[in-house]
Amino acid sequence: MTRGDMSALLSVRETVADWLRSGEIEVFIGYEAGTVPLRATPTFIRKPEDVDRLIWDATCENNLVAFLPKYRGKKVGIMVKGCDSRAIVGLLQEGQVIRENLRIVGVHCPGVVDVRRVAAQLGVPVENIDDARIEGEQVIVGEQTLALRDVLFAGCQTCVHHAPAVYDVTLGEPVADSAEGDPFAHVREMEALSADERWARFAQELERCNLCFACRNACPMCYCNICFVDRTMPRWFNQTTQPEDKQFYQIIRTFHLAGRCVGCGACTRACPQGINIRLFLDTLRADVQELYGYDAGEDAEAKPPLTTYREDDYNDFIL
Ligand code: SF4
Ligand code: SF4
Ligand code: SF4
């Protein structure tokens, strides 16, 4: 299937309708056309006759797995991109979902469009993009045409997780890994800086943060019933937009994701301030891969590195 192959999508819609009819699922979480250009919106299909709302294209940017913890114990269907599916693996590992309760449409995903990149290429604010659509491998904005590959989300351009890790049915043809080089090239640039320069970069990036917590809300692996930011007994931090509060929040959230973040980029895309959260998270993802040989979201039976112990674990940091 190429992007927009209607016959493959029709077949998936029929499968979802069958799951709903037979009672295998109570609800299917997918995408429908959005009201904002180049952005699909999550949709919750409960009746077989509503499956025609389901779409799949490069505007389907949300990681819908973020909704799954709200349906604990229910029978749920869901559409996931390659990277998103790895979050299901993570939730299975952490006992948050039961595989038998899920019906998964796994998409072989060529990438999702980054509206900020579209705006940057056109030299206009994002909010000025009001007439845009995707046709094949092109993004049409008003009278202008951009190549879709040039305006994909940065993580998609070096993606090595196009294929779903867990699924019942698939959508799309397998996608070859990007030839555009090291998925952690942005991390290497950060690592090449001195400690002071890295801190300055981190602090500068967070100057724009307004502590809206959209990054947390978009993340499938941030599912605590009460997040540390909302706890009042004890209160962990003051929730002001003073630099130390913003830095505290990001450091704690990032470390809570160590060895668990699957690199889907949903948090970064959700940030209204355009903060490069991906840079912080990928720094820890790269460390976990290099120190423990572990790539989160690969294997539901694997033991996550931060909850297990091996005698040959890296331990030079222990005095
Ligand atoms: S990171 Fe990979 S799987 Fe995820 S949206 Fe981008 S191309 Fe698709
Ligand atoms: S922290 Fe961001 S990139 Fe990592 S799993 Fe959560 S939403 Fe995806
Ligand atoms: S989404 Fe962006 S602005 Fe909001 S808390 Fe996260 S980093 Fe800060």
Residues 126-162 have pLDDT tens digits of 999 989 999 999 999 999 999 999 999 999 999 999 9
Q: Tell me the pLDDT of the chain averaged across its residues.
A: 93
Say whether both 187 and 287 belong to one domain. yes
- How far apart are the CA of 47 and the centre of ligand 2, in A? 31
pLDDT at 305 over 90: no
pLDDT at 185 over 80: yes
By most ligand atoms within 8 Å of CB, the mutation choice from 215, 222, 239 for ligand 3 is 215
Q: What is the pTM of this model?
A: 0.94
Say whether both 170 and 212 belong to one domain. no
Written as six digits, the tokens of 166 are 């867990």
The rounded distance, in Å, linking the Cα atoms of 132 and 130 is 6
If one counts every other C-beta atom within 10 angstroms of the C-beta of residue 141, the result is 22
**90: helix, coil or strand?**
helix
CB of 215 closer than 6 A to ligand 3?
Answer: yes
Say whether both 285 and 196 belong to one domain. yes
Residue with CA closest to ligand 2 atom 5: 261
Task: Find the mean pLDDT for residues 97-114.
Answer: 97
CB of 16 closer than 6 A to ligand 3?
Answer: no
Say whether both 186 and 280 belong to one domain. yes
With respect to residue 304, please indicate whether it lies within any of the assigned structural domains: yes
Say whether both 173 and 186 belong to one domain. no
pLDDT at 179 over 80: no
With respect to residue 126, please indicate whether it lies within any of the assigned structural domains: no
Query: Which one of 48-52, 240-244, 314-318 scores highest in mean pLDDT?
Result: 48-52
With respect to residue 244, please indicate whether it lies within any of the assigned structural domains: yes
Instruction: Specify the DSSP element, H or E, that contains 204.
Output: helix 195-206
Count up the domains in the chain and report the number. 2
CB of 212 closer than 6 A to ligand 3?
Answer: yes
Say whether both 21 and 87 belong to one domain. yes
What pLDDT score does 317 carry? 74
What pLDDT score does 32 carry? 98
- How far apart are the CA of 25 and the centre of ligand 3, in A? 34
What pLDDT score does 232 carry? 87
Say whether both 164 and 189 belong to one domain. no
With respect to residue 152, please indicate whether it lies within any of the assigned structural domains: no
Domain that holds residue 58: 1-112+157-179
Q: How many helices (H) and strands (E) does the chain have?
A: 10, 8
What pLDDT score does 319 carry? 66
CB of 257 closer than 6 A to ligand 2?
Answer: yes
Say whether both 201 and 237 belong to one domain. yes
The residues, any chain, with a CB within 8 Å of residue 303's CB and separated by 6 or more, are none
